[in-house]
Structure formats: structure tokens, C-alpha cells
Amino acid sequence: MTSEILLITLLLFFVINTPIAIAIGMSSVLTILIQGDFPLMMVAQRMFSGTDSFHLMAVPLFMFAGVLMEAGGISRRIIDFANALVGWLPGGLAAVTIVSAMFFAGISGSAAADAAAVGAILIPAMKKSGYDSDFAAAVQASGGSIGVIIPPSIPMIIFGFLTGASIGQLFAAGIFPGILIGLSLILVSTLISLKYDYSATASFSLAELWKTFRRALLAMGAPIIILGGILTGVFTATESAAVAVVYALLVGMFVYRKIKIRDLFPLFRDGAVTSAIVMFIIAMASIFSWIAAIEDIPAQLAGGLLSLSDNPVILLLLINLVLLIAGTFVETTAALILLVPMITAMQPSLHIDLIQLGVIVVTNLAIGMLTPPMGICLIVSCSISGDSLGAVSRRVLPFLAILIVDLLIITFYPPLTMWMAGVVAG
């Protein structure tokens, strides 16, 4: 009855709207108490061991790097360059929002940070330029989801931690899918802008493009250092996170001079609070996953899906469906820890590489960030624009449709992910 107790209590906590980390932790503790075979001391031990990882050190470091980049005035320079690059398109500000999100994704590794940093500037700018407020929020939410696909990516770090997959290869594998998703979102935003007659914000000028590129060059140095160091083998993903923090601090304090000594404590505090939320979820979920592993729940669930079909195409479609539904209701970190053991148990039957499977999983959960009630990018964008979740959810539907198409391409066209991963591997 252990597995039944674990899953039923978890669902009950979800039903009464308990915060995700508390729901996972309490269901695990109640299961241990009712089952009675393990001392409660195991809770503390599993929480510690679940977060005691060199790979997971990258999570707070990348989050702190994102905080420093935003405070250091980097967001504004990236947006100016994006405006010179694509602002001449119909609905130029919408395209600028997505391109800015792509650039910022190469810094923070977090979709929420991406949506907040870019949205705080561009959602008010779009509204001032005559864009519908709910459309502006939908564009920002859609662009923010790229934050976990283009490296660095905190969900990819967690996937690598859970499965032993190379984080460097996962980062490399996310580059082309991230670009594909960004271009497809720009296409959709341009088509919608043509329909509603949203105008361009700038004329194309090589001189302006070069000027803004030079101003943004140091701002874009962080993703170049992160990816370049990992792809060339100079440092690991975790070490690259530490390098990104130092780089962001030096640029913000001594080049752009936006960060003062008095600002450091609030920035450290904000970075610590944001990181603590993710690490607390990981700690709670590690108890849950430990009990699930003892009860062999992942293998049982995998066996249930495998009993439906032995066709790899059908199985991949089923996994995508499960992940899309889970991403709608469960926070990304928790979904990874709860579902990845089941999915990796099915890998031999899927006939795909673990690296590609990781990108598929992360892309699914990125799409979940656009769907209520747990869509973090949707929630952040709504809080900035002041629109209701329902109104923005309706405007985000065309973007969701193209993201599903992108997901199918990523799932069934391995070279898109594996070519760059292969370069890193060898």
C-alpha cells in the first residue's frame, strides 16, 4: 500500500492547493509515518543528500548571475540591439521581445527571470505603442519559455543530475531547438501583427545595428563565455556558472557602473531567496523520489505505458502528452524529479539518445510554463501587464500551437539536437 498512500496523499494536497514543495514533502512524511518501516531521521538525511551535488551548485550561481546581469543594466543594451536587429518587422516590438528573451536566455537559465527582466521593460513599451495589453503579455510569456531551452538551463542541469547525462552535451543540444522555437514565435507574432496592424518600431540601418551591437557586446559576453568554455572543454557547466557570476559582477560594477557596493547585499539576498525556492523543492522531491524508488513506482508506471504499445513513435507521443499535462499542473523542478525516473526507465524502448530525451523533456515543461494554473511565465507576464490569466491564456493559444509543432520536430528529428551534442562529445 506504500505507493498508493504516497500518490493519493500527494493528489489530495494538490487538490487543496498546497504549495508544491510542501505537498511533496508532506505526502512523503505521511507515507513514512503510516508505513512505519523507516525512521523520520531519513527525511533529513534524504533532504541533505538530495541537494548535496556539485552539479546542483550551478543552480544558485546561474540564478545569481541573472540577478547581477539585470541589475547591471545589461537588459536595456540587449533590447536596444534586438530592436535594431528585428524592430523593422511588422509588430516590431513583439519580435524584439522574443529576440531579447533569446539573448537573455543565454544568461539566466531561468524562464521566470527571463520573462521578468525583459517584460518589465517591453510590456509597458508595447502597451504605450498601441499593442493590446493581453497580446503584449502573451508575447512575453511565450518568449520567456525559451529561457530553459537555450543554454544555460537550470532544468537541464537538474535532468543531468538525475540521470547522469552530460550537462555540457545537454546545453549544446538545446542551442538549435532554442533558435527554432525563437524563429517560429517571431513568425507567429509577425502574422498576428499584420492582422491587427501593429507597426514596426524602427527602420533597418546597418549603422544602428553596428552601434547597438558594440554597446551590447559586453552584455552578450556572458553567454559567449559560458557556451564557449563548455564547448571547448575549458570548464564544466558548474564552473561556467561561477565564471558567469564573476563576469556579471565585474561588468556591472566597473564597466557599466550600475552596481554599487551598497547594492551588493540586496542582490545577494535576492539571489539567495530565488535559489532557495528551487533548492527547497529539490530537497522535498528527493524524499518523494527515494520512496518511489524503493517501491519501484517509476518502473511500474513505465511498464504501464509500455503495455499500451511497443511502437517507439507512439511511446514518444504518449510521453509528450504526459509531460504536457504534468507541466500544466506541476512546477518544473518538481515535475522533473517526479517523472524523469519513469521516463528514463523507458529509454531502451524509445530508441533515442538520453541527451535528446533530456531536450524533449525540458521542451515539454517549457511549454507547460505557458499554461494555467502553474504557468510561471504566464503568471509573471500577467503580473506586469495587469491582465487576467484567462485573457492572456486565450491570446497565447497561437504561440502554444507553434510550440507543439516545434516539439514534434525536436522529438522526431534527432539531428536538430544531437549534432551539436556530438560536437561536444567528441
Query: Residue 409 corresponds to which cell in the numbers above?
Result: 520536430
338 and 345 Cβ atoms separated by less than 8 Å = no
252 and 72 Cβ atoms separated by less than 8 Å = yes
Closest CA to 126 of 187, 79, 71: 79
99 and 87 Cβ atoms separated by less than 8 Å = no
How many angstroms separate the CA atoms of 418 and 82, rounded? 28
Predicted TM-score (pTM) of this structure: 0.83
Spell out the residues 6+ positions from residue 97 whose beta carbon is closer than 8 angstroms to its own: 118, 119, 122, 126, 136, 139, 140, 143, 189
Q: Quick check: 331 pLDDT over 70?
A: yes
Q: Quick check: 230 pLDDT over 70?
A: yes
pLDDT greater at residue 14 or residue 149: 149
296 Ramachandran zone, left/alpha/beta (phi>0; psi -120 to 50): left
The three-point CA angle 69-73-79 to 5° equals 95
The torsion angles phi and psi of 352, rounded to 5 degrees, stand at -130, 160
Provide the pLDDT confidence category of residue 415 given band limits of 50, 70 and 90. Answer: very high
Closest CA to 165 of 19, 340, 39: 340
How many angstroms separate the CA atoms of 112 and 241, rounded? 18
pLDDT per residue as tens digits for the range 232-259 = 778 777 788 888 888 888 888 888 888 8
Burial zone of 7 (CB within 10 Å; 0-12 exposed, 13-18 middle, 19+ buried): middle
pLDDT per residue as tens digits for the range 38-84 = 788 888 888 887 777 777 777 778 778 777 877 777 777 888 888 88
Query: Residue 91 corresponds to which cell in the numbers above?
Result: 509588430
- What string of H, E and C letters represents the secondary structure of the chain? CHHHHHHHHHHHHHHCCCCHHHHHHHHHHHHHHHHCCCCCHHHHHHHHHHHCCCHHHHHHHHHHHHHHHHHCCHHHHHHHHHHHHHCCCCCHHHHHHHHHHHHHHHHHCCHHHHHHHHHHHHHHHHHHCCCCHHHHHHHHHHHHHHHHCCCCCHHHHHHHHHHCCCHHHHHHHCHHHHHHHHHHHHHHHHHHHHHHCCCCCCCCCHHHHHHHHHHHCCCCHHHHHHHHHHHCCCCCHHHHHHHHHHHHHHHHHHHCCCCCHHHHHHHHHHHHHHHHHHHHHHHHHHHHHHHHHHCCHHHHHHHHHHCCCCCHHHHHHHHHHHHHHHHHHCCHHHHHHHHHHHHHHCHHHHCCCHHHHHHHHHHHHHHHCCCCCCCHHHHHHHHHHCCCHHHHHHHCHHHHHHHHHHHHHHHHCCHHHHHHHHHHHC
How many angstroms separate the CA atoms of 162 and 358, rounded? 11
Please state the rounded mean pLDDT for residues 392-415: 93
Provide the pLDDT confidence category of residue 20 given band limits of 50, 70 and 90. Answer: confident
Percent pLDDT > 90 in the chain is 17
Q: Quick check: 391 pLDDT over 90?
A: no
pLDDT per residue as tens digits for the range 257-283 = 888 888 888 888 877 887 787 778 778
How many angstroms separate the CA atoms of 171 and 296, rounded? 30
**Amino acid 1: pLDDT:** 67
**Amino acid 373: pLDDT:** 65
How many angstroms separate the CA atoms of 190 and 239, rounded? 39
